[in-house]
Copies of this chain bind each other. A is one copy, B any other.
Amino acid sequence: MITFTAKEKSIADRIKGLKQASGSHSPNKGTMLREIPELHIKVDACFLSNPYANELFLKRLKKDIRSPKIFKDIIESYPSQNRAIAKPLAKHLGVPPENLFIGNGAIEVIQAVMHRLVKGKLLVTLPTFSSYYEFAAPGTEVIYNYLKKENNFLWDVENFIKTAREKGANSVIIINPNNPDGGYIPKAGIKRICDELSDLDNIIIDESFVHFPTESAAGEIPSAAKLVATHQNVIVIKSMSKDFGIAGVRAGYGVMNKAKAAELLRNGFLWNSSGLAEYFFRLYTEKDFSRSYEKIRRNYIKVTQGFIKTLGNITGLKTYPSQANFALIELLDGTRAEDAVLKLLISKGIHVRDCGDKRGLSGEFIRVASRTKKENKLIVSAFKDLLSHHA
């Protein structure tokens, strides 16, 4: 059992209070550090992002905003309208701009789709990102599919299709790779689902972690976006926060058939991207920048998979297979996940995500993000230390 000193216990209680106040999501880091000045976060492995790409982006941004013109454009000017920001991104993704809806973060796309396009029965697969059931509009009936622990939370495509049919789903949601476990459906599996469920209202595919599967370290990012051309009910949702560590910028998008995109834009979503988000999208689609990012992305996949393998060798925990930039681990030695997370944070400054509030997980689960090589080493040794002392 993990023990806390009196001082650690007092800090732990305050962290729990903040967590409670922020619902199903982790309290933001700024709020946490402001409210609990004793905390020092050395490695933020709660936050899911590619730190190398973040460095690339920040370096360029810092350089660019030295130009008064660019700085002015970002801060002062009204951002371009949705369709104008969509233009270069559409070209980059290889889809028509009329299929794009640019969101103030993927969460705005999720909200818009859930509130305006989803009706009837919505099939959500647990465990999942909680907004997919929390944002269901009044009148939507959320029904569930379950990833099985004994199957390592891997997707069973045929079983998923069968469940959707048996339960009479009107819309389904797939996060690929899934959050919080990193389970992944290869391109062929996604194609099979879309072919089989082509009569549904919506097949929502959240690809926020699609830059990280090993399948994509060798070639193209395995996005389903182009399926929208042939499968009218597919909606792809994408956050850019994970790829670049830019959660504060709020940049995301959705790819969907033209009629749905037009319906969302018909009487709303004017100026919903900030100047910084517009700057980001322009940069992201620039040839040179995109080439540099591609190298970094592939290297990060290698770092991540090495890290997940090393985590898997630690005694006292099980690491589930992941194709995302994080791993779901289960403590098997009787340690409570909540205690482990608090202890790591307070005594070592290592911030990981307790999954105690995640529906569909039964056991002591923690989600650990992959950071830089150096940070990942710190995470590994912290877990080793914790489990060997407290087992």
A residues at B contact (CB < 8 Å): 22-23, 25-26, 28-31, 47, 49, 54, 58, 61-62, 65, 71, 73-81, 84, 104-105, 107-108, 111, 115, 131, 134-137, 241, 245-250, 267-272, 274-278
* A73 touching B135, Cβ below 8 Å: no
Q: Which residues of B contact A29 (CB under 8 A)?
A: 73, 77-78
A105, A134, A137 — most chain B CB neighbours (10 Å): A105
Cβ-defined partner of A249 (8 Å) among B23, B75, B104, B246:
B75
B residues near A76, Cβ cutoff 8 Å: 47, 49, 54, 245-248
List 8 extra interface pairs beyond A31-B84, A136-B267, CB under 8 A.
Answer: A23-B81, A25-B81, A28-B77, A30-B73, A47-B76, A77-B247, A247-B271, A250-B274
Chain B minimum-CB-distance residue to A51: B76
- State whether B274 touches A78 (Cβ < 8 A): no
Known: A28-B80, A77-B30, A80-B31. A248 touches B268 (CB 8 A): no
Taking a contact as CB atoms closer than 8 A, the residue among B26, B47, B80, B274 that contacts A30 in the complex is B80
CB A250 to nearest CB in B, in angstroms, measures 5
Known contacts A105-B271, A268-B135; is-contact A248 B79 (Cβ 8 Å): yes
Query: A-B pairs with the 10 shortest C-beta distances?
Result: A248-B275, A78-B247, A111-B268, A250-B274, A28-B78, A75-B248, A28-B80, A274-B274, A29-B77, A104-B104
